C-alpha cells in the first residue's frame, strides 16, 4: 500500500482507466455539442418567424454555450473548498434577487410568471443561481455542524430554514419545477450527511403532500396535472403539448426522419428548442438518438456520484451529491414530461435545451464536480488512508452516514 501511494496519479489512471474528471469533461463537451446542433435544428422555423433568419436563435445559443464553457473552465480549475468563503455572498445575492423578481415593476414576466430580472436578452433567472447557492450553503453548514458534533436538530434546522424560504419564494413566481429541484437538492444533501433514514422517509412524505397541494392549488397547475393523467382527453387544450411531443417521438422510429427534417418544429410543438427538445431529438434522430442522449446523461450522473464518493473531505462529498442530484432531477423532470409520464413543469434538459442563465449555472456546477473529482483523485494517489479519518469523527450523531462513509471505501 505504501509503495502504491507514492506512484504518480497518471500511473494510477493508466491502470484503473480514465479518470473521473476526464469522463466528466468529455461528457459535458459532447452534451453541449449535441445540444447546440439540436437547438439549431429545432429553432430554425421559429427563429425565421421571429427574427427573419433561421440562425438567430442558434447564434444566441452558441454565445450562451461559450459563456457556459468559460464558467465550466473557471470552476473546474478553482479549488472547490474556496467556495465556502463565498457562500454567504452567493446565498445573499440569490435571496435578494428572488425578492426583487416578485417586486412590482422589477421582475420580467412571460407566460403569466415573473421569473427573470433584466430586459430583452440581457436577463437571468435568480432561481437558477439559488440552486447553486443552496447546494453550497447546505454542504457548508452540514459539514460545520457535523464536525462540531452538534445534535441532529441543530444540524438540520439552518438548511431546512433556508431551503423552505427559497422554495416559497420560487413558488410565488410561480415555478413548481424549480421548487421540486430545490427539494431534491436539500434531501440529497441530508442523505449524504448521514441523516437517519426514518427522518428522510418522513420528510419525503411531507414533501409529497406539500407538492400535491401546491400542484392543485393553482388552476393552471391543476389543469396540467389532469392532462398528464390523461393527455388525450385534453388534446386540444392543456394536454396538447404532451400529445404533440409523443407524436414527434413516435414518428422518429428507429433512425429518425433525419437532422433538420422535423415536422413538429413547424409550429406544432411549442417550446421545441427549449423544454421539449428531447422530442425533436427522437423525431429527427430516432430511437438511436434518444438512447445515445440518455446514455450520455446516465453516465454523467454515475460519474458525478463517483466524484462525490471520491471526495477528499466531507464538504466535497455532500456538495458533490447535491450538485449531481440537481442535474439528475432536472433531466428526469424534463424527459418525464416529454414522455408524458410526469407533469410538465418547464424544466430544461441540462446542457441541451436552449437557455441562458440555466445553461451557465449548470455548467458552473459541472465544473465544480470536475474539481471535486480531480482533488479526490490526487488525494487518493497520495494518502489513501487519511480520507476516512475526518469523516468517521465528523458524524457522531447522524448515524447511518458515518458507517456508510467508512465501509464503502
pLDDT in tens, 207-224: 888 777 776 666 666 666
Backbone angles phi, psi at 117, to 5 degrees: -120, 135
- 264 pLDDT exceeds 70? yes
- 228 pLDDT exceeds 70? no
**pLDDT for position 229:** 62
| Nearest Cα to Cα of residue 97 among 114, 72, 74 | 114
- 282 pLDDT exceeds 60? yes
- 395 pLDDT exceeds 60? no
List pLDDT tens digits, range 137-187. Answer: 999 999 998 888 888 888 889 999 999 999 999 988 888 889 999 999 999
**pLDDT for position 283:** 95
- 399 pLDDT exceeds 60? no
Give the whole-number percent of the chain exceeding pLDDT 70. 78
**pLDDT for position 100:** 87
**pLDDT for position 409:** 36
Using alpha carbons only, give the angle 289, 41, 236 rounded to the nearest 5 degrees: 85
Amino acid at each position: 500500500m505504501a509503495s502504491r501511494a507514492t506512484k504518480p496519479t497518471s500511473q494510477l489512471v493508466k491502470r484503473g482507466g480514465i479518470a473521473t474528471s476526464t469522463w466528466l469533461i468529455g461528457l459535458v463537451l459532447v452534451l453541449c455539442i449535441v445540444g447546440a446542433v439540436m437547438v439549431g435544428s429545432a429553432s430554425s422555423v421559429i427563429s425565421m418567424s421571429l427574427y427573419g433568419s433561421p440562425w438567430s436563435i442558434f447564434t444566441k445559443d452558441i454565445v450562451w454555450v461559450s459563456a457556459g464553457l468559460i464558467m465550466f473552465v473557471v470552476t473546474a480549475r478553482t479549488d472547490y473548498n474556496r467556495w465556502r468563503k463565498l457562500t454567504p455572498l452567493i446565498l445573499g445575492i440569490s435571496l435578494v434577487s428572488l425578492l426583487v423578481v416578485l417586486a412590482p415593476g422589477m421582475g420580467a414576466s412571460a407566460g403569466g410568471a415573473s421569473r427573470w430580472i433584466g430586459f430583452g436578452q440581457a436577463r437571468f433567472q435568480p432561481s437558477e443561481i439559488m440552486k447553486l447557492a443552496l447546494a453550497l450553503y447546505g454542504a457548508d453548514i452540514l459539514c460545520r455542524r457535523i464536525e462540531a458534533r452538534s445534535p441532529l436538530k441543530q444540524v438540520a434546522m439552518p438548511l431546512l430554514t433556508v431551503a423552505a424560504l427559497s422554495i416559497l419564494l420560487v413558488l410565488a413566481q410561480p415555478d413548481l419545477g424549480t421548487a421540486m429541484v430545490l427539494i431534491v437538492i436539500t434531501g440529497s444533501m441530508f442523505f449524504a450527511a448521514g441523516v437517519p433514514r426514518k427522518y428522510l422517509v418522513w420528510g419525503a412524505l411531507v414533501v409529497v403532500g406539500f407538492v400535491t397541494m401546491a400542484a392543485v392549488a393553482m388552476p393552471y397547475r391543476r389543469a396540467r396535472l389532469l392532462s398528464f393523467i390523461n393527455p388525450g382527453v385534453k388534446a386540444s387544450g392543456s394536454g396538447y403539448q404532451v400529445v404533440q411531443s409523443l407524436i414527434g417521438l413516435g414518428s422518429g422510429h428507429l433512425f429518425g426522419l433525419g437532422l433538420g427534417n422535423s415536422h413538429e418544429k413547424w409550429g406544432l410543438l411549442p417550446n421545441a428548442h427549449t423544454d421539449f427538445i428531447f422530442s425533436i431529438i427522437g423525431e429527427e434522430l430516432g430511437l438511436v438518438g434518444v438512447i445515445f442522449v440518455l446514455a450520455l446523461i446516465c453516465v454523467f450522473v454515475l460519474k458525478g456520484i463517483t466524484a462525490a464518493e471520491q471526495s477528499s473531505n466531507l464538504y466535497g462529498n455532500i456538495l458533490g451529491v447535491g450538485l449531481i442530484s440537481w442535474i439528475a432531477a432536472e433531466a428526469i423532470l424534463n424527459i418525464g414530461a416529454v414522455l408524458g409520464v410526469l407533469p410538465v413543469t418547464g424544466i430544461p434538459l441540462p446542457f441541451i435545451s436552449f437557455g441562458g442563465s440555466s445553461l451557465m449555472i449548470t455548467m458552473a456546477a459541472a465544473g465544480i464536480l470536475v474539481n471535486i473529482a480531480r482533488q479526490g483523485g490526487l488525494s487518493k494517489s497520495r494518502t489513501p488512508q487519511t480520507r476516512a479519518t475526518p469523516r468517521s469523527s465528523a458524524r457522531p450523531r447522524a448515524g447511518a452516514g458515518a458507517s456508510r462513509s467508512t465501509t464503502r471505501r
